[in-house]
Structure 1
Amino acid sequence: MPSPALSRSALVEALRAAVSCEVAGDPATLATHSTDASNYRHIPLLVVRPRSAEEVVTVLRVCAAHGAPVLPRGAATSIGGQATNEAVILDFTRHLDRVLEIDAGARTARVEPGLVLDRLRERAAGHGLTFGPDPSTHSRCTIGGMIGNNACGSHSVAWGKTVDNVRSLEIALRDGTRLEVGRTSPEELESLCGREDSVGRLYRSLRAVRDEYLSDIRLGFPKLPRRVSGYNLEYLLPENGFDVAKALVGTEGTCATILSATVDLAEAPASRALVVFGFDSSVEAADAVPALLDLPVLTMEGIETGLVQALDARKPGDRSELPAGTAWLYLETGGASAAEARENARRVAERAELVGASTLVVEDPAAQRKLWRIREEGAGLATRLADGSEAWSGWEDAAVPPENLGKYLRDFELLMAEHGRKGLVYGHFGDGCLHVRIDFPLAAPEAAPAYRAFLTDAADLVVRHGGSLSGEHGDGQARAELLPRMFPPRLMAAFAEFKAAFDPANGMNPGRVVDPAPLDADLRTVIAPPVLPTRARLALHADGGDLAAASRRCVGVGKCVSASGGMMCPSYRATGEEEHSTRGRARLLFEMLAGDVITDGWRSEEVRHALDLCLGCKACKSDCPVGVDMASYRSEFLSRHYEHRKRPMAHYTMGALPRWLRLGAPLAKIVNAVAASPLRHALTRLGGIAAERELPALATPTFRKWFARRENPQWTAERTPVVLWPDTFTNFFDPGVGRDAVAVLEALGHEVHLPARTVCCGLTWHSTGQLDTARRVLRRSLDTLEPWLDRGVPVIGLEPSCTALLREDAAELLPGDPRVKLLGKAVRTFAEHVGEAELPEIRSVENRVLTQVHCHQHADLGYDADTRLLGRVTGEARVLREGCCGLAGNFGFERGHYDVSVRVAEHQLLPALRAAEPGTVVHADGFSCRTQIRQLSGHEPAHLASLTARALGLSAE
């Protein structure tokens, strides 16, 4: 813990005088770094982001001189609480993130601690190699963090834990001493111990620990593949080469700071197959493990039906089929060729009958990825149980010898029943390691004693089965206090002396492993309860209308701080700043409600600033394993932040865009002329619009006007009525999309109707937090639609953002209106409706199409129907499924957002447009996406309705 005499201001002054890197102590930074992925909360002293190893050493020396504890930290996805402390956080994620060298011949890599695992694997893949340990957080966890926690992952049955893959480490001691550690020959050890400096003192102390506790180390550790608890003192034994690097793996930042690491690489199988065994229960799956351990597999992972149901509830159809059962084992095989992987899979599948399992062999890589998503997102999916209750970490990764897994799981289920607890079980069954999130009552008055009672009994249970308190995630604050129940007193004394050898002043991540903080102290829900009213103005159905529960929904797994994969989180990918990630914003909201670090409540400028760069893309709603819906939380915050206050001008202009467009449409030619003249600069300045943006031209006539003026078709047969929703953007800017949609729908035998009066979903008011206006607008639209809704007539949307609001967010705005449920059932996307029909003769197709998926469609509507229709009306279609276009409604038009908007587009969209072959047709259904493409490239994008009309020979273009 920090020294009582420690002066934060003096420390800041000293650090800023000594280093040029960022030294941050502002409330927003402290709030976003106050926790990791655990249940604990500690407000850091400062956050420092060193740019070089030399700056790390300097920071360590300054902190030592001021008595300030230090915590080296990576992506902060640690679940045991080891990555949160009242210390100076050394944040390695911004810099010190390079691959320094790959030696393909030696199969090694030298890397900096902030390097993300997936970046190393991408570089190694070019040599046919990989880094074996692969935790589910592989897209954002850092190598330094993996070394700190001794991370494992799904492939540990093949490639072991991180400790098995570390060759040497370059470290810095608390006093700034730098040294390289690894295997040490007897001669080297003798020489090192003879030195009269801090290195000599270190090695003499480590040798003394080995010699004093030699028999204790040899006999005191349980024998199992996943023992991660405690320190790895066995690597100091003579038979293990006195390997100080391996001994430091898993020390959780309590001993030294890693400056670089040399790690082993493994040969990556060229091809893989997945065999899935189905069982009636997780216990039966666990019982089968011993009979499968001799199989040629890379993984032996267990999941249960609760995880599958959680994923299905959020993303229906977003997984491949599973064989019969309620619990499953994933048995992955590999080979130098598809045939070899398939042959290994066949051998594995033959074992199904012996263990009484149903079986399925999956060879298609896309189908495999869908199944793996269930397992990889388990830590998030398991945080909400079927009854909606919250589930927590704390006892989530205990391990036993694999042959004991079935017995242990039976007893563990009995223990949960005795305590009245529930949880979803999954994990690394082949290594005897179980993951589980449990419904601890952490938001209730009895939180701390209930948590302590369960963890204490659970520790005794796993020890009885010859296991380890932690099999992967480390001890942290959650389990360090329980280590004496697992290890004899002399081993505990050895741990203390080992830490003291490196850190005699106890300044490195104190209170973890040795002299631990109580496991029931610092629980964030207990020490930081909300002090503001938390009943939301939006329904927030997923959290019972409670914004506090919504802010707790983020458990810190950090998928939003990934640099690639999915669409989340575009603003973080553009800025690299934690406060602009979904996780960072959720933590700021939590701290705002608590009123400790963020003290201004709903007037908080820190929260407003963080949410200002939230694009409202909703990607987090679907991509976040926990289903955080930051777009809704942003609307909620803006509604309260600007209550009875002047809003930004953009809220009055673009927030009320439908109103202004209705007024301007009759004067479209004049408006367009002014918008294209030098007066545009004055208009954009007055309207809060980015000066770099061109103003889209108003169409003449509007879509509604065109529809009203056209000759009524003379149908010879009865036709099925549909309502086409004339959204603001189609109506006023891109009426050609509406005309093409009408042509297609009529060609399919529909009688197309537009609502009799002007309608609007209220999107622009909703996204700017003007919720009362959004409700009024939506109610008026429901009044107009009601006769159609009563008849069950489909309502077809063309603009994804408006369609998503009608189907999803309308229920959040007007939860008590019975028409909203009818609306949700009636609303369909163009592809959902047209894709089910038998199309007339296809006359021509676009040969090459590049598709930008709208974020709201990705999050709320799904894209499977669009993919199928694209396949019918186009030739080769490449669908971009990673990254927002960057315009995101009004976001990219608002003053101050242009640069971020472009950087977001540069993540995938703009490079894809530049690389597109000549003749490629660009397809984007969202008006924002089409506008961004028009303004930042030379392409003229088309809507799916237009592509379909062209294919049928119906388009007027």
Structure 2
Amino acid sequence: MSGDVAELLAGSGVDVDVSSRRLAEYSYDASNYRVAPLAVAFPRHAEDVSRLVATCRRAGVPVVARGGGTSMAGNAIGRGVVIDTSRHMNSIVSIDAASRTAVVEPGVVLSQLTDAVERHTGNRLTFAPDPSSKNRATIGGSIGNDACGNHSVRYGRTGDHVVSLDVVLADGTRLTATRTALRATDSDDVAAVERASQLTADLKALATGYMAQFRLELGRIPRQVSGFHLANLLPENGFDVARALVGSEGTCAIVVGATMQLVDVPSSALLLIVAYDDVVDAARDVTTILKYSPAAIEGIDEQIVATMRARRGPDSVSELPAGRAWLYVDLDGEDDVAVEAQSRKLQGELRALGRALDCREVRDPVERRKLWRVREDGAGLSSRLELPDGSSVTSWPGWEDSAVAPEDLADYLADFRSLLERHGLIGVMYGHFGAGCMHIRITFDQRTPEGRQVMSDFLTAAARLVVRHGGTLSGEHGDGRARSELLPEMYSPTIMEAFSAFKRLFDPTNVLNPGMIVDPEPVTNSLALADIPALPWQTTFVLHDANGSGSGGFAEAVQSCIGVGRCRSHGSGVMCPSYRATGDEKDSTRGRARVLQDMVRGATSAEEGWASQDVREALDLCLSCKACSSDCPTGVDMATYKAEFLDHHYRGRLRPVAHYSLGWLPRWLAVTSRMAPLVNAVLASPMRPVGLRLGGLTTERPLPSFASRRQLRRELAPHRNGDGDVVLVVDSFTKGFRPDVAGAALRVVADAGHRADVRTDVCCGLTWISTGQLHQARKRLRRTAASLDDGSDRVIVVPEPSCAAALRKDLPELVDSPAAHRVARRVQSFAEYVSARRDAGWTPSAALPTSVTVQTHCHEYAVFGAATQVRALKAVGIDDVHEATGCCGVAGNFGFERQHFDVSMAVAEQALAPALRARPDAVVLTDGFSCHMQARQLTENPSPSASRHLAQILDPLERQE
């Protein structure tokens, strides 16, 4: 059937993909559901969409419009052709400060629009809607769901900012919907003019016929998003067709352009954190806080905070006052004095009410961003909850978007918790308390028939409960597959009839996103976790299943991706460098995880699954940077999944030659160290290109000089092993290419007051891990664990961050012995060691530079903490630190492989290359060998001194200018 659709659309001139890998990527969004499409299309402009839709309608093929794929209700997936507007239709056409409007294509990401508007207007205007997914959700998707965001108390829903919409109807007709009319986008298109006229008359007749019910049942509370927004067609609302189409989930028309209203940026702002013992207590104070006109009142409960601390360390939420629930209250105004006075008055009133445990004002922008990240990552963090007893449970959407009037929120939450208890479920609560909208993820069991029945029963009961409290099933996520079946619990038969009539006027043949809002399937149909084969996925890594236990659960591990799509962000953080380079869903962590999920659900045997060419292709551009294990809110560790897959995939098969030339690098270094001058001479000769091609390596990257044993001995000559109180592991990269770093590290350890036992005889197995040769890696790691497990608790310091990360994380997961765990706990990266010694009172004797550009090392970022290198520099007194936060692009073997060089250099342009150009004379910190090589590639002066290791910066023998 997919082949038939490809043939059908072949003449459209639009990029259409029907490959099984592509269909797997687009079978999911951020919801509980999986529905495989027939094809995925990537239009470049509105005319493409018009032709595609018209062709599909003639053939009776459904069409689903999709933006960032972040829908939690299942309304961005469907049978038929999925049109991804985020790939190419993502231009900001114009920004007009005078009219306070922006004209955009539907694939524009919200945060990109916000940033562009603020830059264009000198931070005077901004685009207001800011859902937690704002750094990957698109304008088109936000219009489809009527998304709101953290500051909806002040700015309302997306629909409140729509001026006009350019749309394509089910027959390909292009119309423009405005605040007062519906017209042909092209006034010379006679058929479109006639269609607009007829549709206008029909819509006015619909509004007249159902006027009383629209007024009684629609638009009752601020977050009433469920169903179609037909109250906007009433005379008192000006026959606002544009806003009537907002929230229609792509069922009536496909948005191909939008004119959006802009708002003022407040002159001053302050974040007030209020702690409570309970979320119900917090909800009872909302009406009091609303009297102070806050821009936001957001809430989280203790389960999200506990999970954040468990996953990212206590420092990630250190600014929160003591409590078990918290409100984030954003206050703003014209000046700091007025805002602070407002805050003090509010705090006094809250304390007088007696429910608030403590309050804390947060003014520092860095602290504010860190705290907002806890709230914004709520969906991902709450997907696997860390419980007080140390266990964890998995929670899911489905009832994650209900809303009531703010004054009814506390009573609703109290009753809702009782409902959870009656059904034996746990719910984690967070959301937009100021708007009465709750995002509650629940521990549904979707794998078994019994669990799905409990889910169905609970959802029906929850719908009746929220209606009893005067609320709505959805407050911004839409109804989709998750709630459309439940709409009759909320609306009368008359309103449901009106919804069907509205859908038919725009889409009489039911081609556009069928089954959303009107004529839905049961809420438990098409669940992604239902009926997955229970295959014995034997793994070398000890993988954690959905409940957090190390059971070797490969299927459960890859299912930890729930599709929130943070990996599609082009903003802060490090993941996912290949997606940022290509903009292709297949190169995102989510895209890879979805292909893996289809692998485990579709294979008839594990052997068949491990042989998947789709997965091999999806993983090809994964740099194994490990950043997803830290940045992904659900902790997806694609580097580990890739290593595990490659290990099985190539058993009994010939591997790529680079797996031997680079994967076995420690062995080759043992040889080259004996004949380094000869090897270096050959690599400097005309034979170099031939040798590199034979090894599967690019000829466009300069190779480092190989170090000899004599060089290493010379660096370590002053040292004698004995009764050292620190173990310094000189890893393969440092031995083979940067022996001067080993000497500097040894001197810094001594300067810090320690005596080092130097180990040059152990290996972390990293190159074998990254190329998926896990038997070889485990064999070496077993020897390493046995050798380093000396019965002491001495710190093990490793200069190369990637090797330190392998010993800290991969060693216990691959070997999983008491010795491995003991050794892993002792390992520190060099930057971590420096911070610890500085905290203990050490002052470096080296003359330090005043300013440093830091290339953040991905593995160190993921395993030891995002700010490890920066913290070390600031600890020793270097305050002017400029951070290139992003992968360097080399990432071990990746950037040296011939087929990956171009992507490697594109990744470098995300952070490192701009940082080097901005500060060409600055000292550049590149602790990782890969980072060091990329910096040399990008720097006009490719000498080794162009970038330095932290040990070299702190070397007491160094004398900085």
Tell me if both proteins adopt one fold, taking TM over 0.5 as the criterion: yes
Letter in 1 for 2:25: T
2:248 paired residue number: 251
> In structure 2, the residue corresponding to 1:677 is in which secondary structure?
coil
- Of residues 548, 571, 575 in structure 2, which corresponds to 1:564? 571
**How many residue pairs are counted as aligned between the two chains?**
936
* AA at the equivalent of 2:54: R
Alignment match of 2:561 (pick from 554, 568, 572): 554
In 1, Cα distance between the equivalents of 2:359 and 2:938? 50
Give the Cα–Cα distance (whole angstroms) in 2 for the partners of residues 736 and 612 of structure 1: 34
Aligned to 2:899, the other structure's residue is in SS state coil
- Match runs of 1:413-812 below 5 Å: 413-526=417-530, 529-530=532-533, 532-541=535-544, 542=548, 544=550, 545-595=552-602, 600-701=608-709, 704-706=712-714, 709-710=717-718, 712=720, 721-755=725-759, 758-787=761-790, 790-812=791-813
**Partner SS for 1:100:** strand
Q: What is the 5 A alignment of 1:110-189?
A: 110-126=103-119, 127=121, 128-184=124-180
Mapping of residues 308-327 of structure 1, within 5 Å: 308-316=305-313, 317-327=315-325
Once residues 29 and 556 of structure 2 are traced to their aligned partners in structure 1, the CA distance between those partners, rounded to angstroms, is 18
1:91 aligned onto 2:84: yes
What is the match of residue 3 of structure 1?
none
Which residue of 2 is the match for residue 345 of structure 1? 343
Amino acid at match of 2:778: R
| Equivalence for 1:891 | 894
How far did 1:465 drift? 0.5
Measure, in 1, the Cα distance between the counterparts of 2:336 and 2:254: 43
Whole-Å Cα distance in 1 between the matches of residues 780 and 711 of structure 2?
A: 20
State the 1:719 CA deviation.
Answer: 7.8
Amino acid at match of 2:131: P
Please state how far the C-alpha of 1:880 moved relative to its aligned partner.
2.3
Whether contact under 8 Å (2:395, 2:427) holds in the other structure is yes
Tell me which residue corresponds to 1:925: 927
Gap change, CA 1:681 and 1:215, over 3 Å in 2: same
Compared CA separation, residues 8 and 194, structure 1 to 2 (3 A): closer
Shift of 1:780: 1.2
Q: Equivalents in 2 of 1:177, 1:351: separation in Å?
A: 57
CA distance in 2 between counterparts of 1:218 and 1:193 reads 35
Q: Deviations over 1:689-722 (max 9, x none)?
A: 1122222111234665236643649xxxx98621
Which range moves more in the overlay, 300-309 or 837-846? 837-846
Residue ranges of structure 2 left out of the alignment (5+ in a row): none
Contact 2:846 2:958 in 1 (8 A): no
Q: Mark the CA change 1:40 to 1:869 in structure 2 (over 3 Å): closer, same or farther.
A: closer
Corresponding residue of 1:4: none
Q: 291-300 or 537-546, which moves further after superposition?
A: 537-546
Q: CA separation of 1:606/1:194 partners in 2, compared to 1, >3 Å: closer, same or farther?
A: closer
Mapped to 1, the partners of 2:778 and 2:908 lie a distance apart of 32
Query: Structure 1 pair 736/165, CA: closer, same or farther in 2 (3 Å)?
Result: same
| Number of the residue aligned with 1:834 | 834
Q: What one-letter code is carried by the residue in structure 2 that aligns with 1:418?
A: R
Aligned-pair CA distance for 1:185: 6.7
Distance 1:548 1:195 in 2: 50
Identity %: 46
- Distance verdict in 2 for CA 1:62–1:202, change over 3 Å: same
Native 8 Å contact 1:222 1:468 kept in 2: no
- Provide the rounded CA distance (Å) in 2 between the counterparts of 1:282 and 1:576: 39
Q: Distance in 2 between matches of 1:710 and 1:223?
A: 80
Q: In the alignment, residue 372 of structure 1 is paired with which amino acid?
A: W
Contact 1:848-1:874 at 8 Å conserved across structures: no
Structure 1 residue identity aligned to 2:480: G
Matched residue of 1:869: which SS?
Answer: helix
Give the CA deviation at 1:412: 0.5
Please tell me whether the aligned partners of residues 114 and 128 of structure 2 are also in contact (alpha carbons under 8 angstroms): no
1:794-842 Cα deviation digits (max 9, x unpaired) = 1111111000111111111011x11112112211122332333333464
What letter matches 2:178 in structure 1?
G
The CA deviation at 1:34 is 0.2
- Could you give the per-residue CA deviations for residues 228-274 of structure 1, whole angstroms, max 9, x where no partner exists? 10000000000000010000000000000111111111111233210
The TM-score normalised by the length of structure 1 is: 0.95
AA matched with 2:443? D
Deviations 1:468-496 (A, max 9, x none): 00111110011000000000110000000
Structure 2 residue aligned with 1:284: 281
Deviation of the 1:518 alpha carbon: 1.2
Match of 2:9 among 15, 27, 39: 15
In the alignment, the residues of structure 2 paired with residue 864 and residue 681 of structure 1 have an alpha-carbon distance, to the nearest angstrom, of: 39
Matched residues in 2 for 1:456 and 1:820: separation?
50
CA contact (8 A) 2:218 2:229 kept: no
Q: Distance in 2 between matches of 1:210 and 1:833?
A: 70
- SS at 1:425 equivalent: strand
685-694 or 391-400: which moved more? 685-694
Deviations 1:472-531 (A, max 9, x none): 11100110000000001100000000011100111100011001111110001115x136
Note the C-alpha offset of 1:314.
1.4
Give yes or no for contact 1:530–1:548 (8 Å, CA) kept in 2. Answer: no
SS at match of 1:897: helix
Distance 1:427 1:205, change over 3 A: same
Pick closer, same or farther for the CA change 1:946–1:337 going to 2, 3 Å. Answer: farther
Q: Where do 5+ consecutive residues of structure 1 fail to align?
A: 1-6
Measured in 2, the distance between the counterparts of 1:331 and 1:771 equals 50
Does the CA contact (< 8 Å) of 1:873 and 1:947 recur in 2?
no
Q: What do the CA deviations read for 1:337-366 (whole angstroms, capped 9, x no partner)?
A: 444443333333233213321111111111
The answer on whether the counterparts of 1:158 and 1:297 sit within 8 Å (CA) in structure 2 is yes
* Contact 1:152/1:162 (8 A) holds in 2: yes
| 8 Å Cα contact 2:603/2:609 also seen in 1 | no
User: Which amino acid in the other structure matches residue 945 of structure 1?
Assistant: A
Query: Which range moves more in the overlay, 874-883 or 767-776?
Result: 874-883
